[in-house]
């Protein structure tokens, strides 16, 4: 199965800043399309949600590192006894 790749697609990971600054094409006058304020509101919401998930992931990874270090320390102390 082929993966669709647009030349306008974002490369790399999405970040809140990249989502907020994503340029969306405007519709021409007299043509149907999305209202810019609705699109901007959605992008803002997405940026906030991605930011919160990134923050939670960072906290979980830090906790994981802390627990691994505590386990290593504990295992070392058990071996010495």
Q: What is the pLDDT of residue 4?
A: 42
Q: What is the pLDDT of residue 8?
A: 52
CB atoms within 10 A of CB 31: 7
Helices (H), 1-81: 16-20, 36-80
Q: Tell me how far apart the alpha carbons of residues 26 and 34 are, in angstroms, rounded to a whole number.
A: 8
Q: Give the global pTM.
A: 0.61
Task: Taking the CA atoms of 47, 19, 46 and 49 in sequence, report the sign of the dihedral they define.
Answer: negative
Q: What is the pLDDT of residue 43?
A: 85
Question: What is the mean pLDDT for each group of 10 consecutive residues in the chain (81 residues)?
Answer: 51 78 75 78 86 94 98 90 69
């Amino acid at each position: 199965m082929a993966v669709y790749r647009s030349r306008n697609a974002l490369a790399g990971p999405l970040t809140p800043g990249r989502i907020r600054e994503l340029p969306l094409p405007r519709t021409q006058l007299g043509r149907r399309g999305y209202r810019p304020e609705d699109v901007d509101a959605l992008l803002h919401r997405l940026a906030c949600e991605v930011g919160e998930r990134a923050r939670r992931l960072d906290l979980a990874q830090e906790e994981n590192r802390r627990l691994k270090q505590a386990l290593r320390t504990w295992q070392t102390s058990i071996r010495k006894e």
